[in-house]
Structure 1
Amino acid sequence: MLDKNVNLEGKNILVTGAAGFIGSNLVLELLKTLKSVNIVGIDSVNDYYDVKIKEWRLEELEKEAKTHKDSTWKFVKGNIADRGLIDSIFAKFKPAVVVNLAAQAGVRYSIINPDAYIEANIIGFYNILEACRHSYDNGEKGVEHLVYASSSSVYGTNKKVPYSTDDKVDNPVSLYAATKKSNELMAHAYSKLYNIPSTGLRFFTVYGPAGRPDMAYFGFTNKLIKGENIQIFNYGNCKRDFTYVDDIVEGIKHVMQSAPARKNGEDGLPIPPYAVYNIGNSNPENLLDFVTILQEELVRAEVLPRDYDFELHKKLVPMQQGDVPVTYADTTALERNFGFKPSTDLRTGLRKFAEWYKEFYKV
């Protein structure tokens, strides 16, 4: 187990992508569980998917923040690719912990709109790194820990499973994956050059209530409601390591409190205080089994009628460009260093999603 060398109580914490799926859930968890914390969130609230969901998440954060007199929550609408904005937030707020979750997500969309990925994932992350670097100027204590989102997509079409952070990941099959691998390389360079403690987290297929509509479980539900066909790629032979959002958030919180230690090598120069972990359920589910559980939970929540003909609306199709046949996380290092392992089973997670969906969309 690693030492908890970063006490989050009373700290200033910056969360980018705070209106996003993981970001909003992380802010909510920190507000609920810390006696005193000062959180600034930034998000561009773009229209990559339904803005109403992002607005709902932010409303939930405002409601929660009002119940905590010893904590503060401030939201800034803006783009992390705006260098001036990021520098001003760091200068005014002086965050001790930075969690960079802002990114343009999605494998297939990176084929359609690559510019968005370079702006958010490369330029935006560079701005965060530069701001962390200059947080130490003039003898300031600066950022104690930078935690940032990577992705299971970096593993590409690696044949060896489960995927380990020790595996070579130099052959991305999408621009999205390439930008996430670039984030890891950039963070390593800045950790080495400027002694910034940084930890990258490779998330595996995150799902849950108020998630992203471009994810399969959400998109399938939207189509089934309209009586449209759902496409199951690779003829249903794909496997995904689905990870419930609460498990992801719990993992992030554990990691935030244990920054890689600063130490020098034999040459007197810093050994990069740098780490990368997988956060996944370590239990890949076949897509056809996943669809079966999803439809059962949608019927149970009365989102769909009991006599819905699922066979009529399922279509098996070939693999899509940029996609991979399997994702499977080796979480040995996460368990060893933090004593934590994601454990929410797929049915439990999809049940919570179905119940939220019914309530949000007034089905």
Structure 2
Amino acid sequence: MSGLLALLDDVAALAKLAAAHVDDVAAQAGRVGVKVTASVIDDTAKAGSKSLGVVIDDTAVTPKYVQHLPAARELPIVWKIARGSIFNKLVILLPLALLLDNFAPWLMTPLLMLGGAYLCFEGAEKVAHLFLGHEEGAHEEPHELDAAQLEEQRVAGAIKTDFILSAEIMTIALAAIEAQGVLTRGVVLALVAIGITALVYGAVALLVKMDDAGLKLAQIGRLSATRAFGRWLVKAMPAIMTAISTIGTAAMLWVGGQIVTHGLEVLGFGAIAHFIETAATGAASLVGRAESAVEWIAVAALDGVFGLALGLGLMPIVGRVFVPAFAALRGKG
């Protein structure tokens, strides 16, 4: 009997020891889980912030695709474009980005620079059109298209444009992720893709319906102040859209210029990046107050100037080489 009691006592001791080990494992797992979660959140925030310039441009570009279409179709069109954007990011670009990251990481910097150069070109083209004008009717759509065909054409065009901007967003985001491991990097990239798409197209939906909301307030507002605000909103929307477009263009030049200068520095050509940094530091020291803020503004401005110069230099090359070549490939001469 005493032997049985001793055996039971030993079993109980082993059970306690096992339970203690389980508690330790659970505690360690919890700590690891917290660290992984914190790392994912931190990387997602960093990657999203790095893509901010492209996000602003994407938000500024998209509303034009619902212009001159029935108001009832505005939100459905935005939803169609958003679905296409998610497909672009998650189904096509995310796997491609992870494959390149794992098997050809040396391609990431040149691809980033290529995307940055494209942003510079787009921004410079908008600036050139602003000051020099462009041929009227050059981008007009065929008059024979009915509303359904026009909507389909607009959505297809928006999704193509989104693909280019999404590729830039995903590449910038991937370069900003510090976590290691394909799964973790993939999760962070997916979170960035979903979050940015929701942010961009949520903002676009609000923008395209803002004038309708203002008109409604002007018509049914109970207070005179409410009706006045509604009328102001309707009148102010063109100026607001112009301001957003201007900010988007500036962001394109800033981000594009920064990507190219940083890429050149990574590839061993750091003269431009060094000049910008030195000039910004000198400007900040002259001010004597809020030096960090002044230095950041100076770097962004100089990156934007470089981006504008690069974009203006690319415009004749694109117009005389790439556009004719692309047209020839499509059989349009």
Q: Which has the higher contact order (CA 8 A, sep 6+)?
A: 2
TM-score in terms of structure 1 length: 0.22
Structure in which a larger fraction of residues adopt strand: 1
Structure in which a larger fraction of residues adopt helix: 2
